[in-house]
Amino acid sequence: MDNFFQDNLKELASKTSQNELAKKTGFSSASISGYISGKSEPSLKFLLALKEHFGIDIDRFITEKLSNTNVASSSTVDDKFVGNYIVYYYDSSVYKGKASNLSKNTLRYGVISVFKQNSDTKVLASLMKDKENAIILKEKLEDCRNIEEILDVYSKEDTYTGSIESTSTQVFIYIKNTGNNDQGLIILNNPPSNKTYIGGLGTVNSVSRGREHMPCVQFMIISRHILQIPDGEIYNLLALGMAEINVKSETEQLYKLFQNLSENADSLTEYQRLKIFEDSLSNTLLDLIDANMFRFAKVSGMEDDNYYRIIRDEE
């Protein structure tokens, strides 16, 4: 492992103490001394313990020299995220195996609040079916003058509690509702700016609550401002795009096979020609499915910029 890790760990030990590091991570002082000197390599368990107890960004901690002020706070939350956001997303439970659904049946709303309480940054959220209720809730929260009033507003809602972390490139919002056994992780782009964050397009990783409770990923918009564009447009823009598959070579192969079968029609029965073509088509389709089975949806920079402009227009 690079000397960056040794330097950063030494810096962290000087800010706290080696004994404190050992106590919180569950590793001995001798082990930590070995990590600092480079005589031994740290385990993943040790790195995860550092992240849990000291809030480090593991990637940055081992790949770059961090200053004395941010060595133990590389994943802290900037004040630019504090505020109330309207949420737009899909309710996956209404599909239940159907290929499509109307936007009015599927599009869902909510409010996420990020606020400071003492030295901690906390998250409260409420998700709902009705857009007007989400707007009313956000307006109530905007009128709150202190933390107690925010907590009082949410006490009357079906509330999710959570936390938020940020790195130099991403924002991670974790929310959970123990009452209905629901939880999710929202991942958004972190713009390289200290200006107030106004929202953007990200993904939410959760559990589908339809016919089967299975892992689910979908796009989600959070916006500091209520979007004035039609819900149908939001619905269409939130849809995960289908992966583009190039079938040119496969089409050419099938076309040549069809030509050969036609040219040799006299030497084969109709059943034989049909069977050969059927087997070839089946194998081609299976190969295409196998080659494109592992696909993922990714928020592109263009999509995020597009939503940023839409939200900016509401200011």
Helix and strand totals (H; E) in the chain = 12, 8
pLDDT for residue 220 is more than 70: yes
pTM over 0.75: no
> Do residues 154 and 124 lie in contact, with contact meaning Cβ atoms separated by under 8 Å?
yes
Domain positions in the chain are: 3-63, 79-241+297-313, 248-292
Under DSSP, is residue 305 helix (H, G, I), strand (E, B) or coil?
A: helix
- Point out the least confidently predicted range of 105-109, 174-178, 291-295: 291-295
Q: Which helix (H) or strand (E) holds 188?
A: strand 182-189
User: Which pLDDT value is given to residue 75?
Assistant: 43
Position 226 pLDDT exceeds 60:
yes
Predicted confidence at residue 8, as pLDDT, reads 86
Q: Domain 3-63 - what CATH class?
A: mainly alpha
- The answer to whether 86 touches 31, Cβ cutoff 8 Å, is no
Residue 138: pLDDT over 90: yes
d(CA 138, CA 83): 10
State the Cα–Cα distance between residues 159 and 78, nearest whole angstrom. Answer: 24
Provide the pLDDT for residue 100.
52
Q: What is the C-alpha separation between 237 and 234, in angstroms, rounded?
A: 5
Identify the band that residue 69 occupies on the pLDDT scale cut at 50, 70 and 90.
very low
State which H helix or E strand residue 202 sits in: strand 199-207
pLDDT, position 45: 86
pLDDT for 97 beyond 80: no
On the question of pLDDT at 53 being above 70, the answer is yes
CA dist., res. 58 & res. 75, Å (int): 9
| Beta-bridge mates of residue 126 | 111, 159
- For residue 149, the number of C-alpha atoms closer than 13 Å in the C-beta half-sphere is 10
How many alpha carbons lie under 13 Å from residue 85 in its C-beta half-sphere?
A: 25
- Both structure tokens of 131: 């857009």
The rounded mean pLDDT for the chain is 81
The DSSP secondary-structure symbol of 177 reads E
- Higher pLDDT: 261 or 135? It is 135
Q: Could you report the per-residue pLDDT of 157-212, keeping only the tens digit for each?
A: 999 999 998 887 889 999 999 888 888 999 998 887 778 899 988 888 887 665 56
Least confident of 47-61, 66-80, 81-95, 181-195: 66-80
